[in-house]
Amino acid sequence: MGSSEERVVAVIMVGGPTKGTRFRPLSLNIPKPLFPLAGQPMVHHPISACKKIPNLAQIYLIGFYEEREFAIYVSSISNELRIPVRYLKEDKPHGSAGGLYNFRDLLMEDSPSHIFLLNCDVCCSFPLPEMLEAHRRYGGMGTILVSKVSAETASEFGELVADPETNELLHYTEKPETFVSDRINCGVYVFTPDIFNAIQGVSTQRKDRANLRRVSSFEALQPVNRSLPTDFVRLDQDILTPLAGKKQLYTYETMDFWEQIKTPGMSLKCSGLYLAQYSSTSPHLLASGDGSKTATISGDVYIHPSAKVHPTAKIGPNVSISANARIGAGARLISCIILDDVEIKENAVVIHAIVGWKSSIGRWSRVQGVGDYNTKLGITILGESVLVEDEVVVINSIVLPNKTLNVSVQEEILL
């Protein structure tokens, strides 16, 4: 273990409005990092995991959203966790490593011995203290959280090869065309401050190449190369790939769940994973009920204290009900996220769906998806203020905000 004097800072990359296009129509109303999974904003899960890091001094969120969009959340979470949380807005894209480097002076204010870097759109158990302990044993510049996936899906991520004895990163390639390994990069890292020297080295190398091109007569005859800006540095291609096999980077494998939250379908799956995790980490957040005085609850269910659920409703498994929602008599909810101010009337059924803010589902209506989290129409999504009238069936569809449905639809995108 490290000295009690050592301090740690954590950085969570939250992206920006142009990055959340696959998350529409849900990201039309709220920044994707603030969308609730298991009753808490997406970014809350990595933030609360950071709280468990020994000697944590500060948490930084870095992204392209306007500061006002995060101001209220950052203030409340800082007070709740009693750890300073600060949002930093990038002025322009710098890449995943360049964004870190851009704020290096701020990040180094607390003279940290280690810097955690997490991606907000990652869903896992975040074994950060264990990673830090392993990283200190390895003695390298950085440690990457890795997970084993199926060979069929590995090419969607950064694949890597590590030494089975020492866990040293030997080879790294981002989304390869041919199979390399079933071990992938989870988007969670811990570095020593030496990472800033490595990033600066990439920038310096780019400047030198640019100068060389300007003075080389041969290069001057070539078509213009669309080279990257000198201050745009990607963590994967520019840092991990060239430093693999040089005894600077190591891996720590998680045996727990891991998913990437790119689409609304995956957010529903990940909400369920976090609900299941609550049973061991935060059981007080899970609802219970047997149908006598409260609704019948089966499996892992979160119900906001302000929501009103009729005792004859049946809820679960994998259901999250947000603030001020109203669930009527005889309603049946399975595998769904119900957002703020939603009304679900008597005997309505919601299965494999996300019901947007202020929407209303009529009596005896059915809003349902097939439950395929990876396909566009695998779950049904209702945007904000969608009105589903009585006895209407909505199957495997996406409905944009402010629509009224008085006829049944199946496998449609309603603009």
Written as tens digits, the pLDDT of the chain (415 aa) is: 445 568 999 999 998 876 556 788 888 888 999 999 999 999 999 999 999 999 999 999 999 999 999 999 999 999 999 999 999 999 888 888 988 999 999 999 989 999 999 999 999 999 999 999 999 999 999 999 999 988 878 778 888 899 999 999 999 988 777 777 889 999 999 999 999 999 998 878 776 666 655 555 555 545 444 566 777 888 988 999 999 999 999 999 999 999 999 889 999 999 999 999 999 999 999 999 888 889 999 999 999 999 999 999 999 999 999 999 999 999 999 999 999 999 999 999 999 999 999 999 999 999 999 999 988 899 999 999 999 999 999 999 999 999 999 999 999 999 8
**pTM for the whole structure:** 0.91
* Beta strand segments in 26-168, E: 36-37, 40-41, 56-63, 85-89, 114-119, 122-124, 142-148, 158-162
**For residues 233 and 97, is the Cβ–Cβ distance under 8 A?**
yes
To which residue do tokens 């790939």 refer? 241
Q: Tell me if residue 345 is catalytic.
A: no
- Measure the CA–CA gap between 320 and 327, rounded to whole angstroms: 12
Q: Which of 52, 148, 175, 308 is catalytic?
A: 175
- 236, two tokens: 């994967």
Domains of the chain: 8-260 (3.90.550.10), 275-282+290-410 (2.160.10.10)
